[in-house]
Amino acid sequence: MKILNFLVIIIFLFNLNVSNANDRNLNSKITKNLRCLICQGQSIHDSDTEFANSLKLVVEKKITEGMSENEIYEFLKTKYGEWILYDPALNQKTYILWLLPLLLFLIGGAIIFKNLKIKKN
Amino acid sequence: MKTKILLPFIIVSFLFIFFILYVGLNRSNIYIPETVTNEKIPTFKVKVFNSEKKLTSIEIFENDIYYLLNIWASWCIPCRDEHPYLMELKKNKKLEIVGLNYKDKVKNANNFLNELNNPYTLILSDTDGTIAIEWGAYGVPETFLIYNGKIIKKIIGPMNNNLFKEIESVVK
């Protein structure tokens, strides 16, 4: 019985550690994608300003409350707008940003394909 | 034939890149928040300053009057500059000023109010800055004019004479 209790405790502690590590990873992933609004060029993760430290706490709290990554982004977007995110969503303002690389890739691919075809012939 | 297509293609590409860079360079990379909003006030629970009592946002802004939520701290120098305006606004009976004390020490905050007088009908405590985030604030001072559960004006930075007059004209 004692061994069983011991095993249950060990498994519980192990699961707790795994869960904490997952939360920490998610926290780090989210804060790295958030722009520090008062320190240009730095993410919330890298910044040590009052604003960044508070935002880190908010993200931690929201993760504990069970909010998903996207829900946290949506929450912060309602507070600070799209500017808070380093990774902008696909919308009317960002069509060029997202589609231009794909377009350039297709054009480049077509040129290479055409040249190879000419060489073969 | 090849050069006939290639030349216009290169010119169009250059013009396109030039246009993108030109627009990009002219755009500000500084965060400028909206000052006129019609957002609902956030829902939160907060500790009352100098007390163990906790209040919800609905309990704080329940009456059918104008509210001014002012985020302040004793260490914030611009807060001293806007303080006389808040003292003046305190005289308006249709307006209630709620203070949100941001990342401050109780002793320092009390000294600040003793020195400059207290314009607030209620002071809330935000020791870790998370309540300010709920309001979409990113520094101190910031002020929100609230009516009917909605933020109708947001002031970033200290209040000045123009903003003071603007608030007075709204809250007649």
Which has the closest alpha carbon to B116: B72, B162, B168?
B72
More confident residue, B7 or B37: B7
In the predicted model, is pLDDT for residue B77 greater than 60?
yes
User: How many CB pairs (< 8 A) connect A and B?
Assistant: 43
Q: What is the pLDDT of residue A104?
A: 86
Structure tokens at A116: 């190879």
- Distance (Å) from the alpha carbon of B34 to chain A's nearest alpha carbon: 9
| A40 vs B53: CA distance, rounded Å | 38
Helix (H, G, I), strand (E, B) or coil at B154: strand
Give the relative orientation of helices A50-64 and A69-80 as an angle to the nearest 10 degrees: 140
Kindly state the percentage of chain B with pLDDT values over 70. 93
**Overall average pLDDT of the B26-54 stretch:** 82
Q: Which residues of A touch B138 (CB under 8 A)?
A: 37-38, 51, 80
pLDDT band, very low/low/confident/very high, at B23 (cuts 50, 70, 90) = confident
B122-126 vs B95-102, strand pairing mode = parallel
Q: Strand, coil or helix: what is B46?
A: strand
* CA torsion angle B50 B52 B58 B60 (round to 10): -20
User: Which residues 6+ apart lie within 8 Å of A96 measured at CB?
Assistant: B20
**What does the pLDDT read at residue B164?**
94
Query: Which residue in A has a C-alpha nearest to residue B20's C-alpha?
Result: A96
In 3-state terms chain B splits into helix, strand, coil percentages (rounded to 5) of 40, 25, 35
Q: Is the predicted pLDDT of residue A16 greater than 60, yes or no?
A: no
State whether A57 and B34 contact (CB < 8 Å). Answer: no
Indicate the pairing of strand B142-147 with strand B150-156.
antiparallel
pLDDT (average), residues B103-115: 95
Check residue B30 and report its DSSP letter. Answer: S
Residue A93's pLDDT is what? 73
Among B34, B133, B138, the residue with its CB nearest the CB of A38 is: B138
Bridge partners of residue B67, in order along the sequence: B96, B146
The pLDDT assigned to A17 comes to: 62
Answer yes or no: do A80 and B31 touch at CB < 8 A: yes
User: Who has greater pLDDT, A11 or B41?
Assistant: B41
Q: Is the pLDDT at A67 greater than 60, yes or no? A: yes
**Average pLDDT over chain A, rounded to whole?**
85
Question: Which comes out higher in pLDDT, residue A107 or A89?
Answer: A107
What is the model's pLDDT at position B53?
94
**What is the predicted pLDDT for the residue at A82?**
85
ipTM exceeding cut-off 0.85 for this assembly: no
- pLDDT, one tens digit per residue, over A28-61 is 999 999 999 888 789 999 999 999 999 999 999 9
pTM for this entry: 0.76
Look at B133 and A79 and tell me if their CB atoms are within 8 Å: yes
Q: Look-up: residue for tokens 């007059």?
A: B165
Question: Is A54 within 8 Å of B130 when comparing Cβ atoms?
Answer: yes
Nearest Cα to Cα of residue B141 among B49, B90, B71: B71
Tell me which residue in A35, A40, A79 faces B136 most closely, judged by beta carbons. Answer: A79
DSSP readout, A67-85?
--HHHHHHHHHHHH-GGGB
Q: Are A80 and B34 in contact (CB < 8 Å)?
A: no
- If we measure between CA atoms, which residue out of B145, B108, B148 comes closest to residue B125? B108
Cis peptide before B141 (omega within 30 of 0): yes
Chain A residue numbers with beta carbons less than 8 Å from the beta carbon of B103 are 50, 54
Cα torsion A60, A61, A65, A70: sign: negative
pLDDT value at residue A65: 92
**Over the stretch B133-154, which tens digit does the pLDDT of each residue have?**
999 998 899 999 999 999 999 9
* Confidence band for B131, pLDDT divided at 50, 70 and 90: very high
Closest Cβ–Cβ partner in B20, B39, B129 for A54: B129
Residue B50 has pLDDT above 60, yes or no: yes
Q: Residue B130 and residue A57: Cβ atoms within 8 Å?
A: yes
Q: Which residue has the tokens 């957002």?
A: B39
